């Protein structure tokens, strides 16, 4: 099929498919007198449901057919697109892998005539090993498999638990071109994250040795703040190094604790960005490899990225698990205000209920702020349930055992009573409770098990307190961009000193250092696992202060093991990606 740039050259919408080519029936010889063989690629940036083999297959076929109708000659999907990523131990279940292979063959048989498709699926080899693979579907058959070579085991990944690394082949021939095929980490090699892993092999070398003039990469690379910029940099470098066009198709969607932004990209052999699919939405684009080069758009602000990742992760979790409504405690503080705002943006304010649960220590200003927030967001309801009588009943009941107890025990009674009320409402209404704790609090245990830690998804559990403040200000300044009619968060919630309000005149600063200092310690210890001495050197803080908070971080691992899942947005997130021992006392050798 021959096409040429000419008067018919255009960008246009064809249903749900964006095309960046001339129409398929373009008569190039009449328009410009030049014949040129072009290749049109369909980028299937889809949002699979893990395990929904029938649904994922139907969606892939539907989108592949739409891309073919728009002129695509090859379509590329995301990593393990038929099963969904990450499948984790679902791969161990009897019949799962075999069903995936059958689905890949069925896809090949039902594709439009002449269309080539690269589709992700697990497969089992003749020796019984399991591979993370891409199937080449052509002429009605599953013609060839390409296996992932680099299997990540860092952070949230544990692919060596299930898969065996592949080797050959790395390319196929089509329309006179030699086309390389790699899978996710084969290209990124952990260079898209903020730390080195030191792979000995670079699969790009095999693509270079094969003399490929086009590289197609099927990916499921989870979101992390700043990763888009690193992705683009890696693609530009590889394209220039190979002297070949590079196409990376990334999964979109939220699956449990990980979120995938999409941002599929096409980079020309000179390193210029030719196409970028939109973030945070399923998308099918048909791109002409000879199309117009785009000006590289600036990356979004960190707070904008953070908001969309949290909103999208929460919304997709609810959609995929069947949660239709949300419930959270509103304290009048900044954390619950930000979580409520994200919840309202994710499911709609009509599906979010706030519950005010004042105690004898709650200030009137906090109640005013909580009510104002609920009104600004237009929540379904803002229920007020005082816990004073319940609190006193518990104290009276325990008096024969504990006497007039106070301190942490009394503070935690209040937090657990609030958790009890929220979980009871959840049981009766079906609404999912959202804990409102941030990463700084989770790090040092400034949170209560079975109290304010109750809930299904810790929306800001990977967001440091200083980042919560920055996000709240961004939300107020940009409320219209995120679909909110007015600035949602009361200014006093942002500006007042943070307090749990569990004892008279309590302030976070009574128990914690300034959050700027605490967050610096947490970031260096959790995200980089630096030693105490290096943290002291980097921060300039007193060694005794750093030692105290580093030790407290370790001692509170048991709480985090019982916490709700945390939406991952940073390089290292509490939970699956940071499996630390609970019975731990790290004492390095002296001298």
Assess if residue 513 is contained within a domain: no
Is position 240 within any domain? yes
Q: Name the one residue in this structure whose structure tokens are 């084969």.
A: 186
Phi, psi (5° rounding) for residue 590?
A: -100, 155
For residue range 151-204, list pLDDT tens digits in order.
999 899 999 999 999 987 899 999 989 999 999 999 999 877 755 566 888 999
Q: Which residues contact 15 (CB under 8 A, 6 or more apart)?
A: 66
Q: What is the pLDDT of residue 509?
A: 84
The pTM score is: 0.91
Helices 53-69 and 96-110 pack at an angle, to 10 degrees, of: 20
Tens digits of residue pLDDT in 577-587: 888 888 888 87
Q: Mean pLDDT over residues 221-241, rounded?
A: 95
Give the domain CATH number at 481. Answer: 3.40.50.620
> Which of 238, 256, 290 finishes a domain?
290
pLDDT tier for residue 366 given thresholds of 50, 70 and 90 = very high
- CA diameter of the chain: 97
Q: Do 277 and 315 sit in the same domain of this protein?
A: no
Same domain, yes or no, for 59 and 171? yes
Q: Is 243 a domain residue?
A: yes
Q: What is the DSSP letter of 447?
A: S
Positions annotated as catalytic residues are: 79, 148, 184
Query: Cα separations (Å) of 329 from 7, 24, 319, 356, 385?
Result: 60, 56, 22, 6, 10
Residues in CB range of 408: below 8 A, 6 or more apart: none
Q: Does residue 224 sit in the same domain as residue 348? A: no
Same domain, residue pair 113 and 227: yes
* Per-residue pLDDT, 19: 55
Q: Is residue 582 part of a domain?
A: no
Instruction: Assess if residue 30 is contained within a domain.
Output: no
| pLDDT category of residue 10 using cuts at 50, 70 and 90 | very low
For residues 118 and 231, membership in a common domain is answered with yes
Give mean pLDDT, residues 512-533: 94
- Confidence category of residue 218, pLDDT binned at 50, 70, 90: very high
Q: What is the mean pLDDT of residues 402-416?
A: 95
Are 286 and 309 members of one domain? Answer: no
CA separation for the pair 346, 434 (Å, rounded): 13
Confidence tier at 318 by pLDDT (50, 70, 90): very high
Question: Which of 157-171, 331-345, 456-470, 575-589 is the least confident region?
Answer: 575-589
> What is the arithmetic mean of pLDDT over 450-468?
97
End-of-domain residue from the set 290, 323, 353: 290
- 137 and 89 in a single domain? The answer is yes
Task: Specify the pLDDT at position 18.
Answer: 63
Question: Is there a single domain that holds both residue 53 and residue 157?
Answer: yes
Q: How confident is the model at residue 39 (pLDDT cuts 50, 70, 90)?
A: confident
CATH code where residue 138 lies? 3.60.110.10
Q: What is the DSSP letter of 479?
A: G
**pLDDT value at 1 more than 60:** no
User: CB burial class (10 A; 0-12, 13-18, 19+) of residue 367?
Assistant: middle
Q: Are residues 309 and 185 in the same domain?
A: no
pLDDT of residue 587: 79
The pLDDT tens digits for 246-301 are 999 999 999 999 999 999 999 999 999 999 999 999 999 999 988 777 766 677 89
Q: Which domain holds residue 90?
A: 40-290
Asked if 148 contacts 165 with a C-beta cutoff of 8 angstroms, the reply is: yes
pLDDT for 9 equals: 32
- What gap in Å lies between CA 278 and CA 255, rounded to an integer? 19
Asked, for residue 7, whether it belongs to a domain, the answer is no
pLDDT for 16 equals: 55
88-97, 134-143, 578-587: segment of lowest average pLDDT: 578-587
Q: Is position 580 within any domain? A: no
Arithmetic mean of pLDDT over the chain: 91
Query: DSSP letters along 447-460, please?
Result: S-TTTTT-SSEETT
Query: Do residues 345 and 374 make contact, with C-beta atoms less than 8 angstroms apart?
Result: no
Do 233 and 316 belong to one domain?
Answer: no
| Lowest pLDDT segment from 30-39, 66-75, 120-129, 351-360 | 30-39
**What pLDDT does residue 312 have?**
97
Residue 168 half-sphere exposure toward CB, CA atoms < 13 A:
3
Within this chain, do residues 184 and 233 fall inside the same structural domain, yes or no? yes
Is the pLDDT reported for residue 25 higher than 70? no
Q: What is the pLDDT of residues 483-517, one digit of tens each?
A: 999 999 999 999 998 888 788 888 888 888 999 99
The total number of structural domains that make up the chain: 2
Query: Three-state SS string across 65-128, please?
Result: HHHHHCCCCEEECCCCCCCCCCCHHHHHCCCHHHHHHHHHHHHHHHCCCCCEEEEEEEEECCCC
- Whether 72 maps to a domain, the answer reads yes
Q: Are residues 100 and 235 in the same domain?
A: yes
Residue 234 in this model has a pLDDT that exceeds 90:
yes
**Alpha carbon distance 300, 331 (integer Å):** 31
């Amino acid at each position: 099929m021959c096409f040429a740039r000419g008067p018919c050259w255009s960008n246009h919408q064809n249903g749900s498919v964006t095309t960046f080519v001339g129409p398929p029936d373009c008569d190039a010889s009449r328009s410009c007198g030049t014949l040129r063989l072009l290749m049109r690629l369909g980028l299937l940036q889809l949002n699979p449901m893990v395990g929904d083999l029938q649904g994922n297959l139907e969606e892939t076929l539907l989108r592949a057919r739409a891309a073919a109708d728009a002129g695509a000659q090859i379509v590329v999907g995301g990593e393990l697109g038929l099963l969904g990523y990450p499948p984790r131990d679902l791969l161990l279940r009897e019949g799962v892998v075999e069903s995936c292979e059958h689905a890949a063959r069925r896809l090949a048989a039902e594709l439009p005539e002449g269309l080539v498709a690269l589709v992700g699926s697990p497969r089992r080899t003749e020796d019984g090993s399991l591979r993370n693979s891409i199937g080449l579907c052509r002429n009605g058959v599953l013609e060839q498999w390409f296996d992932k070579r680099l299997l990540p085991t860092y952070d949230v990944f544990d692919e060596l638990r299930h898969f065996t690394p592949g080797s050959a082949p790395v390319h196929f021939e089509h329309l006179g071109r030699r086309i390389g095929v790699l899978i996710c980490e084969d290209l990124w090699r952990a260079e898209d994250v903020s730390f080195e892993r030191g792979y000995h092999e670079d699969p790009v070398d095999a693509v270079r040795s094969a003399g490929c003039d086009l590289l197609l990469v099927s990916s499921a690379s989870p979101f992390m703040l700043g990763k888009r910029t690193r992705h683009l940099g890696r693609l530009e470098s590889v394209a220039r190094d190979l002297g070949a066009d590079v196409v990376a198709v990334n999964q979109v969607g939220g699956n449990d604790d990980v979120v995938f932004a999409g941002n599929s990209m096409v980079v020309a052999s000179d390193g210029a960005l030719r196409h970028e699919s939109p973030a945070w939405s399923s998308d099918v684009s048909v791109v002409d490899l000879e199309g117009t080069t785009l000006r590289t758009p600036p990356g979004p602000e960190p707070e904008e990225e953070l908001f969309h990742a949290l909103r999208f992760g929460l919304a997709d979790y609810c959609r995929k698990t069947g949660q239709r409504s949300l419930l959270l405690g509103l304290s009048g503080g900044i954390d619950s205000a930000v979580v409520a705002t994200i919840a309202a943006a994710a499911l709609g304010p009509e599906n979010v209920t706030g519950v005010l649960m004042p105690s004898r220590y709650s200030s009137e200003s906090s109640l005013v702020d909580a009510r104002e927030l609920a009104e600004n967001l237009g929540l379904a309801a803002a229920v007020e349930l005082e816990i004073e009588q319940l609190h006193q009943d518990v104290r009276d009941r325990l008096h024969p055992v504990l006497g007039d107890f106070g301190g942490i025990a009394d503070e935690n009674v209040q937090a657990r009573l609030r958790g009890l009320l929220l979980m009871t409402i959840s049981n009766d209404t079906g609404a999912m409770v959202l804990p409102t704790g941030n990463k700084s609090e989770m790090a040092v245990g400034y949170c209560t098990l079975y109290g304010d830690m109750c809930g299904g998804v810790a929306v800001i559990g990977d967001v440091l307190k200083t980042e919560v403040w920055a996000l709240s200000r961004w939300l107020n300044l940009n409320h219209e961009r995120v679909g909110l009619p007015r600035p949602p968060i009361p200014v006093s919630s942002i500006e007042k000193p943070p307090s749990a309000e569990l004892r008279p005149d309590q302030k976070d600063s009574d128990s914690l250092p300034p959050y700027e200092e605490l967050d610096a310690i947490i970031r260096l210890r959790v995200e980089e696992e630096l030693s105490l001495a290096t943290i002291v050197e980097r921060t300039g803080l007193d060694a005794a202060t750093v030692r105290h908070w580093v030790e407290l971080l370790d001692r509170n691992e048991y709480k985090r093991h019982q916490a709700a899942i945390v939406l991952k947005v940073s390089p290292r997130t509490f939970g699956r990606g940071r499996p630390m021992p609970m019975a731990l006392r790290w004492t390095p050798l002296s001298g």
